[in-house]
Amino acid sequence: MYNRAIILLLCLLTAEINAQSANDSIEISFEPYTSLRSHLGIIRNEAEFQDNASRIGFHLGTKTDKASFFIHAELSINFIKSTFSFNADAQTSSGFLVFDRDQEGQVFGNRLSYIGIDLHKYGKISVGKQWGTYYDVSGYTDQFNVFGGRGSNTYVAGTDGGIGTGRSNQALIYRNSIGRFTLGTQMLLRSTTNNRFIDGYGASLQYSPFIGFRIGASFTTALFADPIINNTIGFDDDPKYFIAGIQYLGDTFEAGLVYAVQTNGDLADTIIDEEETVTVVYDNYGTEFYFKYKQRKFRVLGGINYAQPDTQNLPLHPDFKTLHFIAGMEYRPFQLSYFYTEYRHARGYDQFGISNPDLFTLGIRIDISHRAKKNINFQ
C-alpha cells in the first residue's frame, strides 16, 4: 500500500508543480519519527519485560497556497516478545469477530497508513487506516503510558478499534474547524462481502470555548451482514457507539472525562457446558477519567476506568465488569526520553468471574523525530 500511496502523492505533486505560475512556490516536508517504549511488568508475583506499543513512522507532504497533499505511515514494533500486553493501544488487528487478525504477534504491524488532501479553510480529507472520529473524543482520556482505553470503548473486541472507534481501517474521513467548532465525519468501506455499499459511518463535534478546553461528542456504527448477526450469541443488531466528554490541557495541569455507551459493540469468549468455546457479543456503558499534574521534570498522573457490561440472558458471569484505579509518575531528566511507572489496582472481574489482577510497570520511553522542509520556487 505504501508504494501505491507514494506513487499517488508524486502524481499529485507533479500535477501541482505543472500548475504553478511563474512566481509560485511549493513546500515539501518530510518528518520521520520513532517512539520506543519498554517496561518491566509485574503481574500476580511474576515479572517479565514487555514492549509498550513502540512504533516507527513518517509524514510526507506538499504545501501550496491552495491545497496540501500528505501521506502518513506508522508501523508498530514488537521488539520484545512477551506473554501479555498490558497496553490496549498495542493491538493492530482491525477485525471484529474473526476478520483481519493476521497481524497478531508479528514484529511489525500496521498502525496507520493513509493519504489525504488539506484544502485549508475547506477542510481536510483522508483515506486509509487512521484515527477515527470516535477517537476525537475518546482520546481525551487515552493519555496513560500503559493503561486506559477500557472504559471508553476505544479498543473493542481485542483490536485497535478498526471498525470505527480507534484506528479506523479503510476509512474516508473529513474534518474541518469553523470558529470554535471542529466537525468530523467518517465512512467505512472495508468489505465487499456483506451486500452493503457503505460498511459504517460516524461523526464527531467538538467545541472549544477557550484555549485548552474542549467539549465533544461522537457517534459511530459499523454495518455487518445479516448471517453474522443472526449466528452470533448476543448479536442483535449492528454495533453502535456513543461517547461524550470534556478535556482541559494547561501548562501545569491536564484532565479528561468521558462517558461511553455501546450496543452490540464488544465481545468475549466463554465456555458453554464445559466443552464448547463460543463468542458472545454484549452491550455496555462505561466512563474514563484521567488527570496529570506537571512540573519541569516530574509528572504525577492518575485516573479511573470503569465499564459495566449487560450480561442479562447471556452466558457471561454476572459480576463481569472493568473497574481499574490507575496511578503513576514520570521523571523527565532528558529532552528526548523519560522514565515512567504506572500501577493499576483492579476491582473488576472477567467473563468467567475471575478477579482482574493488579498490575505494576516500570519503564522508559524514547521519542526521536526530525522535520525537514524545502521550498521550491518557480520562475
pLDDT digits (tens, 9 = 90+) for 203-219: 999 999 999 999 999 99
Please give the helix or strand (H or E) that residue 39 lies within, else none: strand 25-43
Q: What is the pTM assigned to this prediction? A: 0.90
* Residues in contact with 93: Cβ distance below 8 Å, sequence separation at least 6, in sequence order: 100, 101, 102, 103, 104, 158, 159, 160, 162
Inter-residue contact 178 to 185 (CB < 8 Å)? no
The domains located in the chain, with CATH, are 2-377 (2.40.160.10)
Which three cell numbers, joined as nine digits, stand for 83?
A: 506473554
Nearest residue to 82 via CA among 32, 35, 38: 38
> d(Cα 152, Cα 135) in Å, to the nearest integer?
9
pLDDT of residue 276: 83
Which three cell numbers, joined as nine digits, stand for 122?
A: 475547506
Inter-residue contact 206 to 136 (CB < 8 Å)? yes
Report phi then psi at 14, rounded to 5: -60, -40
Higher pLDDT, 50 or 12: 50
Please give the helix or strand (H or E) that residue 88 lies within, else none: none
pLDDT digits (tens, 9 = 90+) for 317-348: 999 999 999 999 999 999 999 999 999 999 99
* Residues in contact with 141: Cβ distance below 8 Å, sequence separation at least 6, in sequence order: 148, 151, 152, 245, 247, 256, 257, 258, 288, 289, 290, 303
Tell me the pairing of strands 322-331 and 298-310. Answer: antiparallel
Measure Cα distances from 78 to 36, 47, 66, 81, 205 in Å: 10, 18, 40, 6, 35
Which three cell numbers, joined as nine digits, stand for 281?
A: 457479543
pLDDT digits (tens, 9 = 90+) for 90-108: 888 777 775 455 555 677 8
pLDDT digits (tens, 9 = 90+) for 105-142: 677 889 999 999 999 999 999 999 999 999 999 999 99
Q: How confident is the model at residue 158 (pLDDT cuts 50, 70, 90)?
A: confident
How much is the mean pLDDT over the chain?
90
Three-class secondary structure of residue 172 per DSSP: strand
pLDDT digits (tens, 9 = 90+) for 246-277: 999 999 999 999 999 999 999 999 988 777 88
Measure Cα distances from 288 to 97, 142, 258, 259 in Å: 25, 9, 5, 7
CB atoms closer than 10 angstroms to residue 185? 17
Length of the chain counted residue by residue: 379
Inter-residue contact 330 to 340 (CB < 8 Å)? yes
Q: Which of 16-30, 40-54, 72-86 has the lowest mean pLDDT?
A: 16-30
> d(Cα 126, Cα 83) in Å, to the nearest integer?
36
